[in-house]
Amino acid sequence: MSDEDLSEVTSQQNAQRSLLVLSGANLQLLGSRQPEIYGSATLDDHMSAARDEARGLGFSLESLQSNHEGDLVDAIGQARSVHAALIINPGAFTHYSWAIHDALAACEFPIIEVHLSNPHRREAWRHLSVVSSVATAVIMGLGASGYPMAVRAAAALLDTQQPGLAEASTQE
């Protein structure tokens, strides 16, 4: 096998064990932003917990937060060839970003949508997620447990190579 082939195989193997966590608008403020709703953990706290969980399951984890929709669209487009699964809390973009919806729709790997709060228990405008229809699964309302849980869900989907239930039912 040539050096080039070997490095291609190695980067594919790395991608198979790599997760990306994307965070959208205002999530850099976690810890001080409405702690009665979002809790007192910072985004760094959540990412450390997610990274520890991933490491224990044999995955590496990268994370990115942006308040700019286009940054998230770019990151999703690039993730397709670099990561094995995506965990995303789009923040308020959840409720109206069709650009993020379309970027996610083009992905073939598991996508876990996470919300710290349960948007369905909140204002009516939060009840619509334009992301859920292209996510494999959604975890909401579990606060700080949500991110490690999302990592376990992504790892389980990858390690068993099972489609999410939604995909299974649309294939019937």
Which amino acids are annotated catalytic? 38, 115
Least distance from ligand DQA to the Cβ atom of residue 92, Å: 4
Least distance from ligand DQA to the Cβ atom of residue 171, Å: 29
Q: Which of 117, 132, 142, 163 binds ligand DQA (CB under 6 A)?
A: 117
148 binds ligand DQA (CB under 6 A): no
When the beta carbons of 18 and 94 are compared against ligand DQA, the nearer one is 94
**Footprint (CB under 6 A) of ligand DQA, residues 80-99:** 89, 91-92, 94
115 binds ligand DQA (CB under 6 A): yes
Buried b (16+ CB within 10 A) or exposed e, 54-88: beebebebbbebbbebeebbebbeebeeebbbbbb
26 binds ligand DQA (CB under 6 A): yes
H runs (alpha helix) in the chain? 3-16, 35-38, 43-56, 69-82, 98-105, 146-160, 165-170
> Which residues lie across from 140 on neighbouring strands?
115
118: left (phi over 0), alpha (psi -120 to 50) or beta: beta
110 binds ligand DQA (CB under 6 A): no
Instruction: Give SS3 for 48.
Output: helix
Residues lying near ligand DQA in the complex (CB under 6 A) are found at 26, 89, 91-92, 94, 115-117, 119, 126
